[in-house]
Chain A
């Protein structure tokens, strides 16, 4: 409790009277001092009672209109102070504190002041935070003054809501298949089939498929080898594998492949949180795994995943190796070692195959994305939905990675940022770019034939639209008599 200047003035008058008494050898001034001091103390005690009533009866709320916002956007924060008339005999000022990272606002814009007799006041302040992260609005600062403006008290008290500031949203995000936009991504599995996360359908046999998955009746009926995928719904874990290797840095400054992948990943996190799916995260840098968060259903777990995603940057060159040890069985490698001393014709013939295979296995073994899948399978026994967000730059490695992820009946969602949509100046030659996009599309559909896999393309919608428009024009000109190719 602090005396105001008014109080100090009164106290000074009392002190002068007290000192004058001995000077004039009369107790009369001291009597005056006693009156003044008695009055000051009485006011002090009454002020304390007023403060108590105000603090006990006042309701203070701090409500951001949203708890999650994008960098650079404004969120209205409403500060409301309310008290009953019986506690309205003080002057109460409440100052809304802003997070340190927020754009400063003048104090007069973020304070409410209730005069004596006033019972309610509300003010709305626009909160703007230019950096991503989880921000806490600090306790508001109260300042109470008694009715005579002789004593004040100030302290911090009240709610401390938090807001999560997410990185800039990609404005023109396209997620789809074959150029067709997906209405939403990250849907929860449903009873139906189709473009869900658990396809249950017949598909053509591919090399590497186990023989026990061949649907013999369908094969006999359709004259081609088909395998059947089974619906295998369960309370399965979802693991996000997010590639943030240096190859994900393609694109414009604010809209790299990683930015698009991050946007999709954040959407998946929100979806998983809303339906309560257990969600884990593995992030992959140039030299290995940079983050491994076990699947969790807890709110703080989702928040941690979100924070990790927001903090991701493409791996810079020369980054130190990850401390996570990546292991791969290397069956073919062991076979090559066994054949090393075999000089027979059979052995030499087999070695020719294993030499290629050995290099292939080493290449995968040194692929961090594959290592992420390997790590995931080594550390969990639960049924998995693995969601991989990466680029199509290293297709052969990605193919093996997806195949490994889809083993044991695990469903896989792959979100690919096509290189052709992000390379600078690539669309200058639309015909070439369209050809590359068709190659990508072929690769994407090939991934979907690897098992319970759904592959989506993720990229800037305007560039894709330009590309597809170019493709349609080209097709039309070829179809027309006297077209360019005739």
Chain B
């Protein structure tokens, strides 16, 4: 028995459909969000690369400003890791490096250093393409709230309480978003739908 399988795919930017050897007719284009570029002089640079470079450069500058050569060296090391690792891995390593030149949070300058350092970290973590404005805003918002609340609890109630609070809040918000998604997509089964079995 012969079998026919044809596929027709259309991208809004595509102009010329192509026929492949297996009978697949495809119209495709490069996904729009992954190719955001900015012009610097005559050159087109991807926004993600630019954002990551700016973030890593910022980390090096902040490190040099607050801890001299050692801080700058840490910044360079972080940039070196960023070449081969995902941004989220870089974030982890960057905070390990931060321990080296800000061992304690006792002065206003150290708090300022952390604040400036975290700006670079956020820039790096957001540089994972595709870059989206809502993601950037939400990340910044969540981060500010989490850092602030964690540090306050850390100072007032101790380490365990601060970490427990952070993990509990993250779990709660994550589950809440999950339930919101299930409800908004109509995937929450009613008792009638599944004979009373809970979802």
Contact = CB atoms under 8 A, between A and B. Distances in A.
Interface of A: 1, 9-10, 13-22, 24-46, 48-49, 51-52, 55, 74, 76, 85, 88-89, 103, 105, 109, 112, 114-126, 128, 147-148, 153, 155
Interface of B: 1, 3-13, 28-34, 88-89, 91-92, 94-96, 98-99, 102-105, 114, 118, 121-122, 125-126, 128, 130, 132, 134-143, 145-147, 150-151, 154, 159-160, 162-163, 166-167, 170, 173-174, 177-178, 180-182, 184-185, 187
A128 B1 contact: yes
B13 to A, nearest CB: 7
A26 B91 contact: no
Given A27-B151, A46-B134, A34 B32 contact: no
Contacts of B33: 89, 116-117, 147
A24 B95 CA distance: 12
A34 B99 CA distance: 16
Q: Is the interface of A mostly helix, strand, loop or mixed?
A: helix
B4 A122 contact: no
Given A38-B146, A123-B5, A126-B4, A45 B177 contact: yes
21 contacts: A1-B181, A1-B182, A13-B92, A21-B163, A27-B151, A30-B162, A31-B151, A34-B166, A38-B139, A38-B145, A38-B146, A41-B174, A45-B134, A45-B177, A55-B185, A117-B11, A117-B29, A122-B7, A126-B3, A147-B132, A153-B187
Contacts of A123: 5-8
B28 A118 contact: yes
A112 B102 CA distance: 53
A42 B142 contact: yes
Nearest to B144: A38
Contacts, number: 210
Given A21-B163, A26-B104, A34-B146, A155 B12 contact: no
Contacts of B139: 35, 38-39, 42-43
Nearest to A109: B5
A124 B7 CA distance: 7
Nearest to B162: A30
**4 closest Cβ contacts across the A-B interface?**
A32-B95, A38-B142, A42-B138, A34-B146
Contacts of B142: 37-39, 41-42
Most chain B Cβ neighbours within 10 Å, of A34, A88, A109: A34
Given A32-B94, A34-B150, A118 B5 contact: no
B177 A48 contact: yes
